[in-house]
Amino acid sequence: EAGVAQSPRYKIIEKRQSVAFWCNPISGHATLYWYQQILGQGPKLLIQFQNNGVVDDSQLPKDRFSAERLKGVDSTLKIQPAKLEDSAVYLCASSLASGGVNEQFFGPGTRLTVL
Amino acid sequence: AQSVTQLDSQVPVFEEAPVELRCNYSSSVSVYLFWYVQYPNQGLQLLLKYLSGSTLVESINGFEAEFNKSQTSFHLRKPSVHISDTAEYFCAVSDRLNAGGTSYGKLTFGQGTILTVHP
């Protein structure tokens, strides 16, 4: 079974530029999560989708971050414009359904460096 | 709101020695508890979880964790570590039910503990 795929694996941009990350979840998984992991900290949930609808985006900085999950499969996370403090690893995860009993499977992450 | 505190940021230990990685949590609702592991240059993997039933849970590679409700802890232990256990370990909680009576499964992570096993 293929795991969660993410691209690119690494990205370096200058502040005020825009950037986009892509995630392909495990086939059949209805729930998709984007987490931000700053160096030295644990991952923090940015947004959670159930199929193509948002169920939690309370910690997403909506003035610069946006995410979509068209057709309830792949998802993209965009930052525009980027700030220095956005340097982090962006993790995508998926699970069969929402709810804590459903194991979340994580992708390898995209490491973003903002200069 | 939930929070997770991992009391040690780094734990160095010699091979075959026992180890304990400490985790405390706070939550206004009942929770599920998890330990994730991140090996160098790899993604997060679920190590073990407590959902219900026996408060002592085990992983396939010899780790165990015990849910202690009165102390709001979920410490991770292994009686004898190997070099291959070198990794970063994250404790996490997920709500059983939020205030609206549903559970979205959002994970709240601790800061992580880097376990380094020396020969």
SS (H, E, C) A34-100: EEEECCCCCCEEEEEEECCEEEECCCCCCCCEEEECHHHCCEEEEECCCCHHHCEEEEEEEECCCCC
Q: Say whether residue B57 is in contact with chain A using an 8 A CB cutoff.
A: no
Confidence of residue B104 (pLDDT cuts 50, 70, 90): low
Structural domain containing residue A84: 5-98+105-114
- Answer left, alpha or beta for residue A62, where phi above 0 means left and psi between -120 and 50 means alpha: alpha
Q: What is the CATH number of the domain that holds A20?
A: 2.60.40.10
Q: Quick: pLDDT tens for B62-83.
A: 999 999 999 999 999 999 999 9
What's the number of domains chain A is made of? 1
Q: Give the per-residue pLDDT at A101.
A: 75
Q: Give the per-residue pLDDT at B27.
A: 85
Q: Give the per-residue pLDDT at A81.
A: 96
Q: Quick: pLDDT tens for A3-61.
A: 999 999 999 999 999 999 999 999 999 999 999 999 989 999 999 998 889 989 999 99
Q: How far apart are CA A104 and CA B80, in angstroms?
A: 28
Q: What is the CATH number of the domain that holds B76?
A: 2.60.40.10
Structural domain containing residue B93: 3-118
- A50 chain-B contacts, CB cut-off 8 A: 104
- A106 chain-B contacts, CB cut-off 8 A: 36, 43-45
Q: Quick: pLDDT tens for B17-43.
A: 999 999 999 987 788 999 999 998 888
Q: Please answer yes or no on whether A98 and B107 come within 8 Å at the CB atom.
A: no
